[in-house]
Structure 1
């Protein structure tokens, strides 16, 4: 891994806080010339420290106000079942995140749906129809206490 210095870290913190900063605004924020800032920003992207930019949307405004976590246990833990499950999850628009985990179950799925009726349809049409699913446990979120994609830099 390539090393980054304190100025690179300032850039990463700034663009993580506001990905819409212009190069000039970013340069002023980190006290560097616009040319040097642009070169550093380009290098941070090229080196893989910055993987993309996106807007955070309001789930409730877009009728996706229900957040659920689903523990998924597979009937077999073989590479072909893992691959088939992962491929199927990647195709679902309702699934926001899916992580293979160590412990009492195989995957933790994070999904956003309209409400309980939509969740029931999601569970039967998407999760339970996925390859190798033996058992699920669902945890509907009552309150989002903290939701961030920020990484400490």
Structure 2
């Protein structure tokens, strides 16, 4: 982060707000002309500060009324089983995120479902059959207070 100046940080912050922003608008937002702005943007992409661009989709418009956080525990901590579990989790689209964590759970998953019946089917038919899973505990989101708006840009 030592090679990022104030303008680089402004570019990163602006793009997190609107990833489809045109170069002309981005340049105006950060106080540059278009060519230097495009050069800086290319450098930030090449240096790995910007991994990719994507759209944020509406869960409700797509019919996902349930968001759950699932605490997954393994009885046996075998690297081969954990690797299989992680590979299979990556292939399930309704699992939005998966974190290997410390504490009483081995993994925490964020999952979406259409409704409670759909969530129950997912738990019974998919999650509990994944390699290594011996117990699961769920917390259902009642209301989202803050959604990810991107990383803080120091």
In structure 1, the residue matched to 2:84 is 84
In structure 1, stretches of 5+ residues that fail to align are none
SS in structure 2 opposite 1:71? Answer: strand
Distance in 2, Cα, partners of 1:76 & 1:149: 37
Q: Whole-Å Cα distance in 2 between the matches of residues 8 and 71 of structure 1?
A: 38
SS of the equivalent of 1:124 reads helix
Point out 4+ residue stretches in structure 1 off by more than 4 angstroms. Answer: none
Hey, what's the Cα distance between the residues in 2 that align with 1:13 and 1:67? Answer: 27
1:18-29 to structure 2, matched below 5 A, reads: 18-29=18-29
* Paired residues of 1:67 and 1:111 also in contact (CA < 8 A): yes
Q: Aligned with 1:24: secondary structure?
A: helix
Q: CA contact under 8 A between 1:92 and 1:126: conserved in structure 2?
A: no
**TM-score, structure 2 normalization:** 0.96
Deviations 1:22-42 (A, max 9, x none): 000000111111000001101
- Structure 2 unaligned residues grouped into runs of 5+: none
Query: Helix, strand or coil for the counterpart of 1:128?
Result: helix
The 1-side partners of 2:82 and 2:115 are apart by 29
TM-score relative to the length of structure 1: 0.97
Aligned to 2:150: 150
Paired residues for 1:1-153 under 5 Å: 3-153=3-153
Is the contact made by 1:89 and 1:95 (CA closer than 8 Å) also made in structure 2? yes
CA deviation digits over 1:59-104, x for unaligned, max 9? 0110112100000001211211110110110110110000000000
